[in-house]
Structure formats: C-alpha cells, structure tokens
Structure 1
Amino acid sequence: MPERPEPTVAAAARVYDYMLGGDHHYAVDRTAAAHTMRSFPMAAVGARYNREFLGRVVRFLIGEGVRQFLDLGSGIPTVGNVHEIAQAEVPDARVVYVDYEPDAVALGRELLRENAFATTLEGDLRKPDVVLAAPQVTGLLDFSQPVAVLMISVLHFVTDETEALDLVHRYLARLAPGSYFALSHLTHAGGRTGALQQETNRVYNSTVAENLAIRDRDQIAAFFTGLELVEPGLVPLPDWRPADPDYVPDEEDAPRNVGLGGVGRVR
C-alpha cells in the first residue's frame, strides 16, 4: 500500500481485495473481513464468484463488439480487471474506472500510468451528471457509440430504493443503442432473509464505512427495466454463461445463491 497513516475504519474495496487474495488492505480491513466471514462463511467464495462473473461478462461484451467500458464502483485493482481482460482481446479497448475511495483511485492511476486506453476517475457514482461530464470520461469514451456500463457488486451500497433505480436509469439514458448494462448484486440466500444474512448485514454495517442493502430478486430485476435481458437472464453468478460446457448448477452450493447477475442490452 502507499505510505499513509493506518485507517481506523474498514473500506469495502479493501475488504473485497482481501477476500480475493489481493495485497491492498490494512489490519482494520482484515478484521472486518474476518468478522464478516465468521458470521457469513460463504463471503469469500461469493467474492470469487463475483470476480469470475465479471470476467465472463467482459469477454462476452468484447465478443459482441463492445470496445468501451465504464466501470462504476470499480474498487481496488486486483487480478482480473476489466482492462486486462478486454485489452487482452482488443488492445485499444477503452476503460474508465470510477471509485470514490482514494486508495482505489491512487492504485488505479499507478497501474494505468502507461496505458493510453484506460484511466481512473475519483468520483461518486451517485452523481451521474458529474461522472459523465468528467474529462477522464469524455476524453476516452464516445457515448454516440456502444458503451458497457458495469455496476459489479456496488449497488447494494446505495440503500435507498428510489435513489438506486434513478441512478441506473440516469446512466442508461446516456447510452446509444447496442450498449449494455451489467450488474451483480447481493441477494437473500435461497430467496429468503435468514438469520445468517441478517447477522452479516449487522457486522458489515458496523465495521465498514458503507451501509449495505441486500435486495430480493424482483428488486434487482427492476434495474433492467426497459432493457433486453441477455440469456440466461438474471441468475446466480456461477450460472451466467459458465466457461465449463459441462457445468451443472449445484443447489447445495450455498455461496452460489448469495448473488445474482445479469446483462441487459439497450435497444
């Protein structure tokens, strides 16, 4: 980590980085992650499923001809970043990462210092007009052409339902036909609000600066209103276009049910 005082409050991006096996976290983040994993042991596996989902989504979008990506709430750069995946297929694929945590932005800038087709913006996704008008965005992305907007494991930090829906629709309103919206979101395991997830919510909200909203399937599906949902629709993360052609969903795999993901196309 860059030289700076040890923080006293955990940050979601650093906790997530720790769960993925990254190097960008502090003692307070590791403590928060340990609390979460004690009350919610499937959290680390769920984080891995989420990162693998992102990789499959980016490869799918590149295959569909998308060459521009706006990654909102991108977090700290770890293995499997959008630009790494996209530019491995198309070297001039353009990526703008947006995050409001200074650590995530600083590390992103360091990582992308010599990358002419990717950049990082310190910004709050809850301010779409500011984000979309930022020079980092307007200088790299052309919204008259298809753009993929990614909200991967971030909207559960926008706890107000009306605000969350409004945010999504404001970003989508700027997209040209043929653009895409990709989302992953925490949901109630097994379709119910169990004591385990209630405890996870309590622990997470008491140790990390951000609050957390776990939504049901209908609430998550509402974010795709007006879009053409790509097959197989809104599904548990490992079930979305698995790389293994012999993959069979395991109903006994509890982490499989922690998150839902989907991709929608702008008509």
Structure 2
Amino acid sequence: MKKLISTIVKTLTFFIGWAILISFTPDLQTDNPALLRLWWEFTPLAAVVLFSICFVFLIEKKKIKVPVTVNLPKNILVGAVIGVFWLGSVAAMLLLTKTMHIQGVYHVDYLWIWILASLFNTIMQELLVRGYLYQLWKRRYNTTTATILTTILFTAMHGGAFEAGIIPVLNVISMSVLVTMLLEYTGTIAAPILAHFIWNTIGAIILGGVSLVSDYPKLLNSTYQGVEWIAGGVYKMEGSIIVFVVNMILLTYLFLLSRKRSALAFD
C-alpha cells in the first residue's frame, strides 16, 4: 500500500505541477499566428522537460531514466517507417475507396514554423505520458500497468474523442497502446515521438485530416465523403474505422516482432 500511495503522489505531483506551471505562461506580443502557436507549444514542452529532469535527477536519484539515445539512428528510422506506413496506409485506403478527395492547395505562411510547433507539441505529449510517468509505473509495477495508466491519461488529454463517439475513442486508445509498444520495442522514446510527429504533422498540417488545435493551418483542401464510420464525418481520419484497423495491424506486427526477439534471446 505504501508503494502504491507513493507512486500515486509522485504521479499527481508531476502532472498537476506541470499543469500549474504552464498556467502562468505569459502572452507573446506578436501578430504572427505561427510564432504565437510556436510559443504556446514551446512553454508546455519546456515545463515537462524541467519537471522530468527534477524528478529523474533529484527525486529518483537516476534510479528511473527516460530512454532517449538507445540505438538512436536505427530506432529513429524504425519510428519514421512506422509513422509513414501508419498514416500512409490510412490515407491510401481513404483515397482508393474515394472517401477522401483533395480539392486544392492552400497557401500557408511560415509553414516551417507551424511544423516546428507541431514537433514541440508531439515531444511534449510523449514526454508527459510516456516519459517519466510511464517509467515510474513500469519500474514500480510492470509494463502492463504502466501501459494501462498512461493510456488512460493520454485518452483523457484527448477528451474531445468522447464527444465524437466510440470509433474515435477506440482510435485514441489503440494509438496510445501502439505508440507505447513502439517505445518498448525500440527502447527509446525517440521512435514514438517521430511516429506521432508524422501522424500529427502530415495528417493535420498537410492533409487536413487530423485534429490539432484549431488555429493550425492545412496545406491541402481535403474533404471526406461517404459512410460516416469510414469517412469519419466531421472528425475525418480520426473518426474512421480504417484508423482502428491499421492500428491493430501495427500492434499485432510489433507484438510478433517483440515475441520473436524474446524467443531469440532465450535460445
């Protein structure tokens, strides 16, 4: 019981402390919406990095680590391949079924700043959910417990999915488990960050089929038509059953790879 209480207190202190700190974020005096969004993505990231350093080095005395540099070049490639296949297969199926239609191209000022802001947002989410907190619960208990609790947190952070219906909720949950399995398979948080970044950035800023904060622009004018559970309705890709199917395929693939690696380790 003492271990459980201690773990819960650390979890709440980390998350609530981070939330309180970012609530004091000052406004950036600029008329440039891209720079303003970059600022609003940078400050939560800086806060979660600060809290992670404090908890790992000062509270845990390095007994818990957030893995970053494990086989970095190889695992960055793994994250990129998973991310491209993940989003690419969904987009391909939507295009082939004539559910997704690209109507034209918009002009987006400061596109690289919007992309950098999306990167900051992705790193923040992954560090907050699958950084210190995940490693804390994994070390204190096990991988399954850590996955369940961080998936609950990740789903709560995407609470808008509950208003959209069961399919978006299943997509968020399966996405969280998929990215966690990618973390476990590669041993570094860099791979989940890259896969998540590709999904968010290309899916939202380029294709306009994934939801980010409403002020993010989209490069392509894409529409989604047809049966709602395939087309996603107003939620586009994130409301499509195709995303859930692809998530489960990738989950199964990573699970089989992990099992094969474990079997070879015992040979």
What TM-score, normalized by structure 1, do the two folds share? 0.29
Larger Rg: 2
What TM-score, normalized by structure 2, do the two folds share? 0.29
More helix per residue: 2
* Highest RCO, 1 vs 2 (Cα 8 Å, sep ≥ 6): 2
